[in-house]
Amino acid sequence: DQQVKQNSPSLSVQEGRISILNCDYTNSMFDYFLWYKKYPAEGPTFLISISSIKDKNEDGRFTVFLNKSAKHLSLHIVPSQPGDSAVYFCAASAYGANSKLTFGKGITLSVRP
């Protein structure tokens, strides 16, 4: 039972354009959402997060939007750079102790020079 879904396995965009990576979730208990970025042969690294009390969080070129009613979040990267080419994982958790991260299966982003 996939509680975090990243339905598009891949995305290809031109350098300088916007990349929009989507994520849906089914568990209404999720209160915190994270995006991790992963390069080949490396572990995931934290990119940006958002709590359920917000609908937007911005960090430089990266912005995450949360639509709680739709149980949907998206990561916007603008402008996209070739170095952004990686696998992006959406993850969710519920506040509180003993909480765990539930990950989606990732989206492979390719940014063409």
Contact footprint for other proteins (CB under 8 A) = 2, 31-32, 34, 36, 41-46, 49, 51, 89, 91, 93-106
Cα–Cα distances (Å) from 104 to 9, 57, 78, in that order, read 10, 20, 22
Pick between residue 18 and residue 46 the one whose CB is nearest to other proteins: 46
Using DSSP's 3-state secondary structure scheme, residue 39 falls into coil
Least distance in angstroms from the C-beta of 30 to other proteins: 9
Compute the least distance from the CB of residue 70 to other proteins, in Å: 21
Question: Is there a contact between 44 and 89 (Cβ–Cβ < 8 Å)?
Answer: yes
By beta-carbon proximity to other proteins, the closer residue of 42 and 70 is 42
In whole angstroms, give the CA distance from residue 102 to residue 33.
9
Smallest distance, other proteins to C-beta of residue 73, A = 15
